[in-house]
Amino acid sequence: SQQGEEDPQALSIQEGENATMNCSYKTSINNLQWYRQNSGRGLVHLILIRSNEREKHSGRLRVTLDTSKKSSSLLITASRAADTASYFCATDPSGGSNYKLTFGKGTLLTVNP
C-alpha cells in the first residue's frame, strides 16, 4: 500500500518563486527520502532525513520532518525551469528487517520561465 501521500498533486509556479511540497505518512519510520523524476526517466535521490532529525539542507533544497504529525515537507527555493519534474517522498518503515521503501503518488511541479 502507498504510505506516503504528497500534497499538492500538482503545483505550478513562476521561475524564482519557492515551491513547497508536503508528504504525510501513517506508520513509524526509520527515515524518509525525497526523489525527483524528470518525465519518464529514473529517480534522482535528493535527500534522506532520519527519524531523529528535524531539518536538512542541500543547496536550494530544505527538508523538514515532524514525526509527531507524521509529515515532511520539501522546499525548493529560487526555483528554475529545470526544477520542473515530479517529486516523490518514500518512507522507510521502522521495525524488523523490512527495508522496503513505500512511495507516495508524487507532486508534479511545473516551473514556468
Partner 1 sequence: SAVISQKPSRDICQRGTSLTIQCQVDSQVTMMFWYRQQPGQSLTLIATANQGSEATYESGFVIDKFPISRPNLTFSTLTVSNMSPEDSSIYLCSVRTGLGEQYFGPGTRLTVT
- Strand segments, DSSP code E, in the chain are 5-7, 10-14, 19-24, 29-37, 43-50, 55-58, 61-66, 71-76, 85-93, 102-103, 107-112
Distance CA 88, CA 72 (A): 11
- 84 touches partner 1 (CB under 8 A): no
Pick 33 or 84: Cβ nearer partner 1: 33
Residue among 23, 65, 90, 111 that touches partner 1 (CB under 8 A): 90
Which of 15, 92 has the CB closer to partner 1? 92
Q: Which is nearer to partner 1, 1 or 113 (CB)?
A: 1
Least distance to partner 1 from the beta carbon of 40, Å?
A: 6
Note whether 56 binds partner 1 by CB under 8 A.
no
Determine if 33 is a binding residue for partner 1 (CB under 8 A). yes
